[in-house]
Amino acid sequence: MANIDRDQLLHVARLARLELREEEVERLGAQLNDILAAVSKVSELDLSGVPPTSHPLDVVNVWAADEPHASLPVEEALANAPEREGSYFRVPPGGSS
Amino acid sequence: MSEWETVVGLEVHAHLKTRTKMFCRCELEYGAAENTRTCPVCLAHPGALPVANGRAIEHTIKLGLALECEIASSAVFARKNYFYPDLPKGYQISQYEAPLCGPGRLVVPTAEGDEVVRIVRAHLEEDAAKTVHAGGATGRSVGADYSLVDFNRGGTPLLEIVSEPDIRSSEAALRFLRLLRQTIVELGISDAEMEKGTMRADVNVSVRKQGEEGYRPRWELKNMNSFTFIGRGIEAAVREQIAAYERGETIGQSTYDYDPDTDRLTVHRSKEEADDYRYFPEPDLVPVEPTAELVERLRAEVPEPPGARIRALEQAAGFDVAYALVTTGRDALYAGLVADGVESRAAANWVMNDFAATGADPGAVDIAGMATVLKTPSLTRDALVEATAASALPGFSAADYTSRAAVSDASELGPVIDAVLAANPQQVETYRGGKEGILGFLVGQVMKETEGKADAKAVNALLREKLAQDA
Amino acid sequence: MIDTLRLTAEEAARLLREREVSAAELYAAYRAAIDERDPELHCYLHVCEDDGGEGIPIAVKDVIGTKGIPTTAGSKILENYVPVYDATVIERCKANGLRVLGKTNTDEFAMGSSTENSAYGPTKNPWDPTRVPGGSGGGSAAAVAAGLAPWALGSDTGGSIKQPAALCGNVGLRPTYGTVSRYGAIAFASSLDQIGPVARNVRDCAYLYSIIAGRDPADSTTVELPNAVELPEGEDLKGLRVGVPREFNEHEAIEPGVREAVQRAIELCRELGAEVGDCSLPYSVDYGMPCYYLIAPAEASSNLARYDGVRFGYRSPNGGDRLEMYERTRDEGFGEESKRRIMIGTYALSAGYYDAYYGQAQKVRTVLAREHAQAFERFDVLVSPTSPSVAFKLGARSENPLAMYLSDLLTIPSCMAGLPGLNVPCGLSEGLPVGLQLIGPQFSENVLFRVGQALETAIGFDPVPARLVDV
């Protein structure tokens, strides 16, 4: 059932914003297919009547009052910025992202 | 009647009026200096986790109630995954399969009947941050174009309302939007101002032949923030689609930009191939299951929606007046005056003309006091004007004005009228010659002589009498 | 003379309290031990200077954010990242006087079973430096085993606390999901991650758990503990029902030496007065792994999207436009295993595949939870080996992802159900530690501590690696 071909692999890499080098494409492709074959085991089970679990605990209705906390001082907000201009984060331009 | 039918659906986004962001408690402040309203959560630092804003949830439920929506028994936040610098987590927390509000409707009253626009859903999500493009490329030098990101706005609570494609014209779209906007504003949940960016709409437009079943591919005009351009954009889309079909072309689903200067649409330069958002339930947040108690408490806070109020007033005031009163937010004032005994047309007239001109807040008017003033027979014009100006100010006292009744006594007015007639023989002749319109001039002269204290209606009647007599 | 190889946190606290030792001396003793043994073992990525505090030092896995102290998650993509805030668990430790001794090595983003996926080189097992300490939290477990910290914080998603504890011969708790805040802990798989204590004995483990556990308003998925943490005292297991799930104890992957040690421990349970019985969880072992290796990578693919070079961390110097910046930063910054999991996860969530993969896995999760719940109707605790093998050689599984994943075969199923699990050393096989896994229902930590303590006393395992004695 599971078999990712090269095009699909590159598509998934694009979705994940990973620029795979050629040798990575080969190696990863093979490994991913092995892993997918193993995890596809889940489809052996007929679980039509079973609800999915999104949360291990049965907790609902958690929210906070609309009261402000102190925001970070701007220098801390930018402390780890790879590139900045004034108090802005700076990134290369792009029609795509 | 055109053989083509316009099909419009709208997705409206409104910034909710809360003090803090949707998933962190950074204080929202319009115009704050860049990156001064951020924290590890809205900067998506490693390890940060979202915590939902309870007030935003309540606002959304109220909107759902106002639109007759089913309120979810279990609403689930979901991640919408894509990459963009203004989306720090690399996903937006939104709602997907289980929105807070399910199907509902907005009934738009018109003189010809109701336009019912079905609502598919309304849900809660967070807004993206702001990217500004900077630098000026001169050739290909280093330091050419780049982008700057400000995360202050990122995380603002956003309400998304999606309509079915039930709208059949650009005018109907604008009617819907205006009524929706008013509903939202009256709930107190958002300022919903397009110019300020607190409300925007994605407009989906397609056409089909009259009687055709199903929908054809649509064009999407995204992030429209002007009523005028929405109307024109729809019309341009309809025009261009019809022309294309009539040329035998096919239309594909696409995003378009509307250019107001040329009144034309151009395909939006697509960012990348159609995004696969890979929605899945947000594991860092738990479901919202509004209790019956909460819903009823919120329901009590929802005022009667504007559409229903228009229909309620229509009987007494006629559709046009009812529509004007409600959509300008003055119907409560009108209704209050009528309840206190003011005649309907007089009340509507005063509200929509005299009072409207003051620009004052209708909610601040001393209704009982103003009703007394309006019911005073023979109130002078001056007194009315002054009372109107003071009606929404503190310390209004009706007695200041009711004492100033206009003179309507024939014995008092008679001599003045005689004098005016004597002084204006030309006009008298003109009147008697059949030009009754000149009466207004004569009335005005009497008003001048009496320094405004005469009752204009009585003057009018007396003048006619005298002019008829001496004929 | 402080013997850091033997000192428990409880004993260290006593020494400080009774002023037999000063805080500075205590800290210095660990620094000296680190200077001596860490060059070989490489447990630490960062060692802190003595901050002059008065309390017990604690080692912290480098996926837990520490303000002002570099936090790398074992990845190049965070090589220069210094958090601007403390994780909640760190705040709680500090509030109890604990001091951060240093940040311990981890598989990149907590993904792995050997700590060989760290971008900063692997950690060696103190029992045999040619072998792995387990993973992802090998650094913390090895540090405690080698006397380089009295105790440590780790994180467990599929076994990352329990399995290294098994391979290094110490006590590790994976808490009930939701009892310890994840705020500030770098997310791997949000619905599975839990922070937990790693210690030399069960009492220290319980005490550290009591410090960090409890609802955190900053983490919406946390809850209050229904019962206060009890430090275990008792030495027998009368009245306790111990279950031995066949599939977990007879799996062909389990080494004979491991099986023997575990069976002796189970026999000991009987001698201590427990009722021991067999049971069957038919789906857990076979379907736990595939389930985990769909859900965890899916959530990880989304959690790791924020590492994009925009706001913090590594940005590729091989620049280009924005798309290239994103793609190269992430390709260069992430290691192999992270990329593998991101790819699997993205695929499992993508359009057309969600239902068969992620959607189906979430249902399998329900099956596993139900299966465990059923077993807990008859038993108070389930026992099995923690790891199918003792510590394996460095490099033995690193070329084969699936072989590596099998290390977690026995720890994964209970993680999928959100259940707590305690690793208690129960003997040696070929001179290497064997760990016994105790699984309980949600919120049963006190039971796990009680059983663990009783066995610990009865077994008398010496947690000091033989080769480090008399060094």
Region C108-118: mean pLDDT is 98
- Rounded to whole angstroms, the Cα distance separating C292 from C287 reads 8
Give yes or no: residues B93 and B113 share one domain.
Answer: yes
Q: Does B156 contact A at CB distance below 8 Å? A: no
Q: Does B149 contact A at CB distance below 8 Å? A: yes
pLDDT at C137: 97
Residue B301 lies in a domain: no
pLDDT at B17: 96
pLDDT at A96: 45
Contact B33 A71 (CB under 8 A): no
Question: Which phi and psi (to 5°) does residue C380 adopt?
Answer: -90, -30
Contact C294 A56 (CB under 8 A): no
- Rounded to whole angstroms, the Cα distance separating C107 from C45 reads 12
Interval B386-440: pLDDT, tens: 899 999 999 888 888 887 777 777 788 888 889 998 999 998 888 888 888 888 8
Q: Which residue of A84, A89, A91 to mutate against B (max B Cβ within 10 Å)? A: A89
- Rounded to whole angstroms, the Cα distance separating C250 from B127 reads 53
3-state secondary structure of C364: helix
C162: annotated active-site residue: no
- How crowded is residue C205: how many other Cβ atoms within 10 Å of its Cβ? 31
Selected catalytic residue, list C114, C118, C155, C160:
C160
- Smallest Cβ–Cβ distance between C343 and the set A12, A43, A47 belongs to A12
CA-CA distances (angstroms) from residue C339 to A14, A32, C117, C305?
A: 12, 10, 11, 11
Give yes or no: residues B394 and B419 share one domain.
Answer: no
Lowest mean pLDDT among A22-36, B268-282, B336-350, C173-187: B268-282
- Rounded to whole angstroms, the Cα distance separating C322 from B439 reads 77
- Rounded to whole angstroms, the Cα distance separating B427 from B436 reads 10
Region B260-267: mean pLDDT is 88
Contact C402 A38 (CB under 8 A): yes
Contact B45 C190 (CB under 8 A): no
pLDDT at B141: 30
Model confidence at B143, pLDDT cuts 50, 70, 90, reads very low
- How crowded is residue A16: how many other Cβ atoms within 10 Å of its Cβ? 28
Closest Cα of chain C to B51: distance in Å?
6
Under CATH, which architecture does the A1-43 domain have? Orthogonal Bundle (1.10)
Q: Peptide bond preceding C136: is omega within 30 degrees of 0, i.e. cis? A: yes
Which H helix or E strand runs over B207? strand B199-209
Measure the N-to-C terminal CA separation of chain A; round to a whole number of Å.
33
- Rounded to whole angstroms, the Cα distance separating C381 from B300 reads 51
Which H helix or E strand runs over B148? strand B146-150
**Helix boundaries (H) for C244-359:** 246-249, 256-271, 284-303, 322-333, 336-349
pLDDT at A93: 85
- Rounded to whole angstroms, the Cα distance separating B193 from B191 reads 6
Taking a C-beta distance cutoff of 8 angstroms, is the pair B200, B194 a contact? yes
**Residue C188 or residue B136, greater confidence:** C188
Percent of all residues in chain C with a pLDDT value above 90, rounded to a whole number: 96
Q: Is pLDDT of B1 > 70? A: no
C136: annotated active-site residue: yes
Residues in chain B with CB shorter than 8 Å from the CB of A17 are 83
Which H helix or E strand runs over B124? strand B113-126
Closest Cα of chain A to B157: distance in Å?
11
Taking a C-beta distance cutoff of 8 angstroms, is the pair C302, B280 a contact? yes
3-state secondary structure of C195: strand
Question: Which phi and psi (to 5°) does residue B284 adopt?
Answer: -85, -5
Other chains touching C, judged by 3 or more CB pairs under 8 Å: A, B
Q: Which residue does chain A place closest to B19, by CA atoms?
A: A66
Give yes or no: residues B211 and B270 share one domain.
Answer: yes
3-state secondary structure of C156: strand
Taking a C-beta distance cutoff of 8 angstroms, is the pair C98, C140 a contact? no
Half-sphere exposure of residue B258: CA atoms within 13 angstroms, side-chain side? 28
**Helix boundaries (H) for B54-197:** 54-66, 170-187
Interval C246-259: pLDDT, tens: 999 999 999 999 99
Residue B298 lies in a domain: no
Single-letter code of the amino acid located at C73: A
- Rounded to whole angstroms, the Cα distance separating B332 from B348 reads 11
Q: B376 lies in which domain range?
A: 306-402
Contact A92 B34 (CB under 8 A): no
Residue B14 lies in a domain: yes
Region C127-140: mean pLDDT is 98
Residues in chain C with CB shorter than 8 Å from the CB of B91 are 302, 305
Interval B299-358: pLDDT, tens: 999 999 999 999 999 988 899 999 999 999 899 999 999 999 999 999 999 999 999 999
- Smallest Cβ–Cβ distance between A68 and the set B25, B43, B57 belongs to B25
- Rounded to whole angstroms, the Cα distance separating B209 from B213 reads 9
Residues in chain C with CB shorter than 8 Å from the CB of A36 are 344, 347
Q: Which residues share a beta bridge with B106? A: B117
CA-CA distances (angstroms) from residue C381 to C33, C203, C283, C444?
A: 37, 18, 18, 9
Task: Report the helix count and the strand count for chain B, using DSSP H and E.
Answer: 16, 13
Question: Residues, chain C, total?
Answer: 471
Contact B46 C299 (CB under 8 A): no
Identify which of C93, C95, C238 has the alpha carbon closest to the alpha carbon of residue C151.
C93
Q: Which residue of B278, B282, B286 to mutate against C (max C Cβ within 10 Å)? A: B278
Model confidence at B132, pLDDT cuts 50, 70, 90, reads confident
Average model confidence (pLDDT) across chain B: 91
Residues in chain B with CB shorter than 8 Å from the CB of C183 are 47-49
3-state secondary structure of C429: strand
3-state secondary structure of B92: strand
Taking a C-beta distance cutoff of 8 angstroms, is the pair B72, B136 a contact? no
Q: pTM of this prediction?
A: 0.91
- Rounded to whole angstroms, the Cα distance separating C272 from C279 reads 20
Which H helix or E strand runs over C374? helix C360-378
- Rounded to whole angstroms, the Cα distance separating C397 from C406 reads 10
Contact A53 C178 (CB under 8 A): no
Interval C319-362: pLDDT, tens: 789 999 999 999 999 999 999 999 999 999 998 999 999 999 99
DSSP string, B358-397: HT--GGGS-HHHHHHHHH-TTB-HHHHHHHHHHTTSTT--
Instruction: Kindly indicate whether the ipTM for this predicted assembly is greater than 0.90, answering yes or no.
Output: yes
pLDDT at B458: 84
Task: Report the helix count and the strand count for chain C, using DSSP H and E.
Answer: 15, 11
Residue B237 lies in a domain: yes
Interval C195-214: pLDDT, tens: 999 999 999 999 999 999 99
Give yes or no: residues B169 and B272 share one domain.
Answer: yes
Interval B180-191: pLDDT, tens: 999 999 999 999
Q: Which residue does chain B place closest to C305, by CA atoms?
A: B90
Q: Does C75 contact B at CB distance below 8 Å? A: no
3-state secondary structure of A86: coil
The domain locations on chain C are 9-283+365-470
- Rounded to whole angstroms, the Cα distance separating B11 from B326 reads 24
Question: Residues, chain A, total?
Answer: 97
Vertex C82, ends C81 and C84: CA angle to 5°? 130
Contact C306 B88 (CB under 8 A): yes
Residue B295 lies in a domain: no
The count of structural domains within chain B is 3
pLDDT at B381: 80
Q: Is pLDDT of B138 > 70? A: no
Q: Is pLDDT of B129 > 60? A: yes
- How crowded is residue C215: how many other Cβ atoms within 10 Å of its Cβ? 18
Tokens at residue B366, please?
Answer: 């001393």
* Chain center to CA of C340: 21
Tokens at residue C249, please?
Answer: 């104890």
Tell me the residues of chain B between 15 and 54 that have a Cβ less than 8 Å away from chain A: 18-20, 24-27, 33-40, 43, 51-54
**Helix boundaries (H) for B274-355:** 292-300, 306-317, 319-327, 331-339, 344-349
pLDDT at B450: 84
Q: Which residue does chain A place closest to C400, by CA atoms?
A: A31
Residues in chain C with CB shorter than 8 Å from the CB of B285 are 220-221
Selected catalytic residue, list C118, C136, C210, C301:
C136
Region C44-61: mean pLDDT is 95
pLDDT at B382: 80
- Rounded to whole angstroms, the Cα distance separating C377 from A15 reads 45
pLDDT at B137: 52
Question: Which residue in the block uniquely carries the two structure tokens 């004995």?
Answer: C201
Cα dihedral: C22, C28, C32, C37 (round 10): 90
The domain locations on chain A are 1-43
Taking a C-beta distance cutoff of 8 angstroms, is the pair C142, C164 a contact? yes
Q: Does B96 contact C at CB distance below 8 Å? A: no
Q: Which residue does chain B place closest to A17, by CA atoms?
A: B83
Tokens at residue B407, please?
Answer: 């003179």
CATH of C9-283+365-470 given 3.90.1300.10, 3.30.70.1250, 2.40.30.10, 3.20.20.210:
3.90.1300.10
- Rounded to whole angstroms, the Cα distance separating B221 from C325 reads 30
Residues in chain C with CB shorter than 8 Å from the CB of B90 are 302, 304-306, 308
pLDDT at A97: 41
pLDDT at B142: 40
Model confidence at C279, pLDDT cuts 50, 70, 90, reads very high
Which H helix or E strand runs over B115? strand B113-126
- Rounded to whole angstroms, the Cα distance separating B252 from B250 reads 7
Which H helix or E strand runs over C167? helix C162-168
Which H helix or E strand runs over A88? strand A88-91
**Helix boundaries (H) for B152-291:** 170-187, 227-246
Question: Which phi and psi (to 5°) does residue B208 adopt?
Answer: -160, 165
- Rounded to whole angstroms, the Cα distance separating B239 from B343 reads 48
* Chain center to CA of C151: 12
- Rounded to whole angstroms, the Cα distance separating B184 from B186 reads 6
- Rounded to whole angstroms, the Cα distance separating C165 from C126 reads 12
Task: Report the helix count and the strand count for chain A, using DSSP H and E.
Answer: 3, 2
Residues in chain A with CB shorter than 8 Å from the CB of B24 are 69
Q: DSSP secondary-structure letter at C406?
A: G
